[in-house]
Structure 1
Amino acid sequence: MITRLKKAAVIGAVATLSAAGLTACMSDGGDGDSDTIRIGSTEADKSQWQVFQEKAEEEGLDVDVVSFTDYSMPNKALAEGELDVNQFQHIQFLAEENVKADYGLVPFGASQTFPMGVYAKNYSSVEEIAEAGDVVIPNDTTNQGRAIKVLAAAGLVTLRDDDLLTPTPADIVAEESDVTVTPVDASQTAVAYNDGQASVINNNFLAAADVDANDAVFKDNPDDPSSQPYINVWVTTEENKDDEDYRKLVEIWHSDEVQEAVANDTAGTAVSAENSPEELRDILADTEQKIREQGGADE
């Protein structure tokens, strides 16, 4: 097993974040090397991680799940050696982070995908949404691009280029589309839904708005090649990508007990993904290349 992190003296058991940056509070390991595998997650409070830790212990692995509230920090913490691995993001997010910050982080296993859906309280079909003529979408770059691609797959909008990784409203051919899009903060898409507008809603906002994922009028297909950048992954550094214990983490995640907890935590919206590490890294490389070609990630 590859030697784990060399930890400095620290002051707590949970990592939190502030606007000023990372204030990771790690359990005191004293001086010397540790065999504890430190995993960064933005959902460490979920039951899936508790079950995961219990299963890992049964397999002889000592894991510490470190909680983050800011999605920009787990990759930074991993790249700077404060974590061994993280599991919170899909490939496209990782690609954008790698291109922007030159982290060079790589996936070593898949976890799940979360299909993105179009929801409408007052409409039951794509045709009715087309008649309504407007759809609310999230306005952050990654989710906005994916939402527009979902609408294109549903036949509600036509794009000037189907190969765009993160299309914007400017890439929609208005005269050939059935709806216009209104970008809003992601948290407001569910509000718009409850106000009667058709909306593309991120999975993490469904439960808070009491929206049933099964009520989606249309969802993207996780088996479609265009959905590959949205596979959620286990991530580590290039030098540790073949660590055997890390591979065990992926196996444990896909155990029946953990998958049952994932299903409960996500109201059944997660679709298990078991792509090989090699396939995941090919998808990452292709996604990073497209981001560079399209001038993305604030290069």
Structure 2
Amino acid sequence: MSEPSLPPRLPEKPTRRTGLITGIVIAAVVVIVAVVLIVVNVAKPKADDAASGGASGAAASKPQTVSIGVTDASQPYWKIYSDLAKKKYNVTVKLVNFSDYSQPNPALRQKQLDLNEFQHIEYLADYNNTSGDDLQPIGPTAIYPLPLYSTKYKTPSELPADAPVAIPNDAINEARGLLVLQSAGLLELKDGGSPFSTVNDITSSKIKVTALDAAQTARALQSGSVEAAIVNKNYATDAKLPNTDIIAKDDPSDPSAQPYVNVFVARAADKDNKLYQELAALYLDPSVEKSVQDVNGGSAVFSDLSAKELQTLLAKTQEQEKAAKG
């Protein structure tokens, strides 16, 4: 006699422990997927950054080094500036210091530098016209007064007759120095002078003007070979000439002084590079500006001209110089 058949056996109902493990596994998978998506999105460079050649308002997607030619690399504001560039844009600033004004522009043209910052618009205009180059300003720094220093006399009128006075011999700073001497009552220039005057335009003088390399005028003053000297701000700072030795200077806040605004300069192909423009703007950060003013006794007049405005000013100044020189 056959045994009665048993009813089919149903699958066992999952226990509470099995369901809990399954839930944990699913949750873990969801978390891992979410983390991967976040990492991919963060690491993915923005299209704008790739198109502009750099980051905008945030750290660059990868570390970069930007070389900047200067003539005052030892000054404390460059350390502040470099730290900000690293923190804000992930850029390591490589400062390349030059001993005189004739070197940074050719170095930029030859791609030994990415940018330079040492000159004003008038100087750049003269360089472009003379060399046939087309370097372009991409951001302003400040206008500095051009001072006449003396370690012996307190006013220009105290200088003895035919006293030797040194001025820079580069075309633009020579003209500006002559205008300072004229405003101090020490000489007169043909037709009242211009930003393009030379020593040949002196029509009368109470002093003996000696034109030297801009890097040498402070040394000539300190050695006693001249009684007074026009000294550009970076060389005066390096020579530790005190502001109390300034006996005359021009007015950087005068609208006519605008072409003397110092600028960051790039090759024409890089004039719209967004990262370079942001690095130029970083010089106007309050912490950098404060350090610059501390070094210069509060005499700097900072500028807010845009890159386009500076480029328009440069083009106008170049045309004026061409017309002045015939």
CA 1:88/1:178 → structure 2, altered by over 3 Å: closer, same or farther?
A: same
Please give the per-residue CA displacement for 1:33-56, whole angstroms capped at 9, x wherever unaligned.
985433332333432222112112
What is the aligned counterpart of 1:94 among 117, 120, 124?
124
Aligned to 1:50: 79
Read off the aligned partner of 1:112 and give its amino acid letter: A
CA 1:206/1:37 → structure 2, altered by over 3 Å: closer, same or farther?
A: closer
Name the SS of the counterpart of 2:151 in structure 1: coil
TM-score (norm 1): 0.75
Aligned to 2:10: none
Q: State the distance in 2 between where 1:56 and 1:210 align.
A: 28
Read off the aligned partner of 1:275 and give its amino acid letter: L
What is the aligned counterpart of 1:216 among 235, 246, 249?
246
Q: State the distance in 1 between where 2:108 and 2:191 align.
A: 35
Asked if the contact 1:108/1:280 (under 8 Å) is kept, the reply is yes
2:136 maps to 1:106: yes
Output aligned runs, 1:107-256, within 5 Å. Answer: 107-129=137-159, 132-141=161-170, 142-162=172-192, 164-174=194-204, 177-186=205-214, 187-192=216-221, 195=224, 197-207=227-237, 209-256=239-286
What is the aligned counterpart of 1:261 among 286, 291, 298?
291
Output aligned runs, 1:52-67, within 5 Å. Answer: 52-67=81-96
Cα drift, residue 212 of structure 1:
1.0
Number of residue pairs the alignment of both structures matches: 266
CA 1:163/1:284 → structure 2, altered by over 3 Å: closer, same or farther?
A: farther
Larger relative helix fraction = 2
Q: State the distance in 1 between where 2:177 and 2:63 align.
A: 43
Aligned to 1:293: 323
- Identity percentage of aligned residues: 31
Aligned to 1:10: none
Please give the per-residue CA displacement for 1:175-204, whole angstroms capped at 9, x wherever unaligned.
xx4444233454245533663723322333
Cα drift, residue 264 of structure 1:
4.2
Q: State the distance in 2 between where 1:276 and 1:223 align.
A: 18
CA RMSD of aligned residues (A): 3.1
Asked if the contact 2:135/2:267 (under 8 Å) is kept, the reply is yes
In structure 1, stretches of 5+ residues that fail to align are 6-32
Cα drift, residue 207 of structure 1:
4.2
Cα drift, residue 104 of structure 1:
0.9
TM-score (norm 2): 0.69
Aligned to 1:22: none
- Structure ID, larger Rg: 2
Cα drift, residue 210 of structure 1:
4.3
CA 1:243/1:153 → structure 2, altered by over 3 Å: closer, same or farther?
A: same
Q: State the distance in 1 between where 2:292 and 2:298 align.
A: 8
Asked if the contact 1:117/1:217 (under 8 Å) is kept, the reply is yes
Q: State the distance in 1 between where 2:240 and 2:131 align.
A: 37
Please give the per-residue CA displacement for 1:255-293, whole angstroms capped at 9, x wherever unaligned.
121123323444555442332323322321222223323
Asked if the contact 1:121/1:194 (under 8 Å) is kept, the reply is no
In structure 2, stretches of 5+ residues that fail to align are 1-48, 55-61
Cα drift, residue 209 of structure 1:
4.6
Read off the aligned partner of 1:40 and give its amino acid letter: G
CA 1:86/1:213 → structure 2, altered by over 3 Å: closer, same or farther?
A: same
